[in-house]
Amino acid sequence: MIGMKKMRFSDEAIKANIFKGHFGLEMESLRVDERGFLAQTKHPFGRDPRISRDFCENQVEIITGVGDSPDDVLRELTEIQRFVAGELLRLPSGPEYLWPFSNPPFVKGEDDIPIAHFGGDQKEKDAYRRYLAGKYGKMLMLFSGIHFNYSFSDSFLTEGWKQSGMSSFRAYKDRLYLDLAGKLTQYSWLIVYLTAASSVCDDSFLEYETIGKKYASPRCSEIGYWNDFVPVFDYASLDRYVDGIKMYVAEGKLISAAELYYPIRLKPRGENDLNCLRANGVDHIELRMLDLNPLSKIGIYESDFNFLQLLILFLVSSKREDFPENEQITAVENVKKAAEYDVSSIVENGAEKDIKTAALNIIDDMRCFYGALSADDLVRKTLAVQREKVLSEEKRYAVTVRKRFGGDYLEKGLSLSKERSKMI
């Protein structure tokens, strides 16, 4: 467990600055036609910086700007979704809709998955996607999800630097994010356990009777989108962290840093480039394990968005701990286990531990932490929502999704897609 006896900042600094931060979301969704098949039209949004696509031409990626609060970002997300839905309904080729699940609808075959075409000065993106198709196959590329981006406010970082005794603000900032990346990786299983919402899929995508029913989140599970090796990082310094990734590229295990499929990424400002990361330092941290939640009309609940920030602040305020190779490998295994529908345990300190007990321990530690800060009702309610998911199976998204959409996944999914296009 994360050590809680020694905090990294004084209580006064925490109270004054801890909740200040910057947020952003990237949300992927597949486009489907009137019958619920994957749309075969070209990406209809040109080079709108808010609306791109990930791997395939029929996968919309909504990218919010940077907001100073969860409300700012969720409001913008809703506005962009409303715009996208309206434009898709008015396409000359016929109406289209955003598929509300991380798992795709009926897939006729790999020819149903056109690789995204950027062309022109972005043609290297096309080549990269062809490389991915050859290495991993197209089917896995249909998984859609949410990336949560977060950076600390300058006031929080400045106060922490003053208390640290370090001579360089840049070195302090990089150190803080490196420590946080390790801790978040250790506890990524908790986020997957609390937010997995992909417990139904079509047997054209997975052999549903034998495979699909096993998972709450196939994309985060052992059959999901992972590298064909388990990366291990050196968190001792940013240079050593970058050198480790560069080594995997030099060995041919990765074509670039972009191919690092891992729950947590450290990102520079601007292009996700290792040289940029080394030269300019860490700008923000990215959490990549969130499913689209079909139970929320915008794909994510505000309570889960808020919880991610609370977990980040809780972890960054705890004392630094080593994160050796064996624990890094265990952390990845725990994520894959937490993605199972009937998960019962994870590994902690080398031993099997009941996952509900482990989850409640963390949430209860968070309640104590924020209680000492005299946090407001929103914090208490946010933690109470997560606690209820652990205490009651019926509160887990995966359980609700399977009950509501199991049996007629395609029909119910298309109906929901059409309904959402009018109500966002």
In this prediction, residue 208 carries a pLDDT of 67
Pinpoint the alpha helices (H) of 168-224.
169-186, 188-195
State the pTM of this model. 0.95
The pLDDT score that the predictor gives to residue 294 is 98
CB 44 within 8 A of CB 91: yes
Q: All domains of the chain, ordered by start, with CATH?
A: 11-423 (3.30.590.20)
Tokens of 224: 């999901």
The whole-number mean pLDDT for each consecutive block of 10 residues of the chain, a chain of 424 residues, reads: 54 74 98 97 95 94 97 97 97 98 94 90 89 92 96 94 93 97 98 98 82 91 94 97 97 94 94 92 98 98 98 93 95 98 95 98 96 88 98 96 95 96 78
Q: What is the pLDDT of residue 274?
A: 94
Q: What is the pLDDT, as a whole number, of residue 14?
A: 63
Residue with tokens 């749309």: 39
At 4 the pLDDT is: 45
Residue with tokens 């997560």: 386
